[in-house]
Amino acid sequence: MAIVGADTGGTFTDLILLENGKIRVHKLLSTPHDPAEAILAGLDALDAGLDADVVHGSTVATNAVLERKGAVTALVTNAGFEDVLLIGRQNRTDLYDLHYRRSPGIVPEHLRFGIPGRVASTGEEVEPFDDDAARRAAEAVRESGAESVAVCLLFSFLAPAHELRMAEILRETCPGATLSLSHRVLAEFREYERTATTTINAYVAPRMNRYLANLRAAVPAGLRIMQSNGGTISAATAAEEPVRTVLSGPAGGVVGALAVGRAAGFDRLMTFDMGGTSTDVALLDNGLPLATGTTLSGYPVRTPMIDIHTVGAGGGSIASLDAGGSLVVGPQSAGADPGPVCYGKGGRVTVTDANLFLGRLSAEHFLGGRMRLDAERTRRAVERMAREAGLAPTALAEGILQVADSNMERALRVISVERGFDPGEFTLLSFGGAGGLHCSSLARLLGVPRVLVPNNPGLLSALGMLMADVVKDYSLTVMHDAADLAPAALERAFAPLEARALDEMALEGFQAGQVRLERALDMRYAGQSFELTTPLEPDRAPAETFAELHERAYGHRMTGRAVQVVTLRLRAVGPAAVAPPAPRREGPPKVAAAARKGFVQAVFEGREHETPVLDRDQLLPGNAFAGPALVVEYSSTVAVPPWARAEVDACGNLLLFVS
């Protein structure tokens, strides 16, 4: 049986085919107008048969929100709460910007409808549902032309009867509309966050449905979608809850990094995923770093996701001069079209162009020699920009890389130093098509002792999707004092969530005995406004675990203060069938002659060096060499500077040691 991982990026679409224990890979330029076009072309290039399952990391939901290209969406809520999305929270993202204006909402005023009926915070009905008023609201929704409807009623997660009845009326009145019900999308308190998450789901659902329907028609075997939480779900589930896929591509890379790092003997990792458009970083301290939400285009999205920090720095990031003549790199990207200058169509110098100009990329070996870079066109563009900046061309190119490195270094410090972690205690795991060109410099800046670059680093996100478990997350706000939740009470509280989880995992193809259920509680001290997610540990009181986590996060615990259990969390996991690569037999320290592909003149720190080009496919475990060197392979190039040395470990990973 064959299985394909497909990751759609801003510049390249990556595919990796696993069949009978053998791997084949393909990388091609993305097709932003229709991401499926590149995926289908890649499947054809890999000659993946009709029986190949596909696991896909989709950017459709994210792009629909960022570009404001989602469906015409209506919101039905309680009368008097129609403006909850507009009011939001009092936080201002740009506190000192005197010209700050909030971006237009995705649901304008004429598409927000209120209906009578009210459920209290105890779950009791305090005002009955009004069928006639609900039908009038549904008629107004139909006349508005809305394609999708978000239904978010007060405390529906405690008593969903009003939402369910509203959904029945909407299905009768607006049969073609897509419905998103808040008690299904997010069964948690905080009305603004729940309404925003449900509305985002409704906004992107029609577009995601069309995209997945077209893709499923072209992929007759199984199609699974990567979620933001590091697990996969069926395409049918993703079509219903697309809000769970907003960070699916980067999540695949982190899952793959954890598997590869553990196989190499490293549990504490900082992941560095530099692609064509952006760079994603995460800190893995013996496991996946999970968060309960993020902000997308100004809206809170409260779904479980891997904690990933993103900056607008990638190989395609455009270099420019600001009004004062200072060099700026990114966040604007050349993307897949027109792409960097060296791809043949772009006209503005990018990070990739700077690397090529300095000899840190080989024009003949890009994408395994299948895509030749235009070095002469790049030289003219860099020299033209250097004249504008009043710099020597080499100084300009190195300056572009230094500015890009500075942006990425700050991102890595956000997830490490600013959270109390010492980068020197971690291994930097570098991947993405451009990661190998910058990882050694970043390790040196951060004081990280080693860098691990896996095989096919430009395709690790796609590989991670193959390694990802099937995961579904559930939550329910309960608001109890921890002292009142004895073990028996916790069992009763989790029982409905676990029953639902097992039923839905059965639809994903797993029997009850195959599913691992992981429980956690969102807890806080009485009077606090924020919670810490606390895993339930056997033979230990949840309040003790919470106090320990609180002290680790904030430096103290509040002895004697009551502890509240705010929300129950359940994670259902079905194990993946794909394992990381097994170790191979170690070879000699000396690099074989077959691995040497010639020399290039590369510039490092202002000096030109005769730099050997090594074919990574010909390197063996045990091989070791000192920089400078360029290690080329199909999906990426690794630049080993003069102040670094490299070894190939038993799994075929390249380990770089910087000084």
DSSP 3-state assignment of 381? helix
> Could you give the angle at which helices 161-173 and 131-144 cross, rounded to 10 degrees?
50
Q: Which helix (H) or strand (E) holds 484?
A: none
CB within 8 Å of 489: residues ≥ 6 apart? 480
For the chain, report the end-to-end CA distance as a whole number of angstroms: 46
Which of 271, 582, 280 shows the shortest CA–CA distance to 426? 271
- Arithmetic mean of pLDDT, 143-168: 97
Judge whether residue 582 has pLDDT over 80: no
Judge whether residue 408 has pLDDT over 90: yes
253: pLDDT confidence band, cut at 50, 70 and 90? very high
Q: C-alpha 166: how far from its chain's center?
A: 34
Which of 357, 352, 351 shows the shortest CA–CA distance to 600? 357
243: pLDDT confidence band, cut at 50, 70 and 90? very high
Distance CA 580, CA 575 (A): 14
325: pLDDT confidence band, cut at 50, 70 and 90? confident
Q: Which of 248-262, 327-341, 537-551 has the lowest mean pLDDT?
A: 327-341
Q: So what's the pLDDT on residue 409?
A: 96
- Arithmetic mean of pLDDT, 390-416: 95
Highest mean pLDDT: which range of 56-70, 153-167, 540-554: 153-167
Q: Which of 43-57, 184-198, 492-506, 530-544 has the lowest mean pLDDT?
A: 43-57
Residue for token pair 């399952």 = 53
Cβ–Cβ under 8 Å, residues 342 and 376: no
What are 535's two structure tokens? 């895993």
**CA torsion through residues 72, 78, 79, 80, sign:** negative
> Furthest-apart CA pair in the chain: how many Å?
82
Judge whether residue 587 has pLDDT over 80: no
Residue for token pair 């029609």 = 206
Q: What pTM was estimated for this model as a whole? A: 0.89
What are 351's two structure tokens? 């990070």
Which residues sit opposite 319 in a β-bridge?
Answer: 329
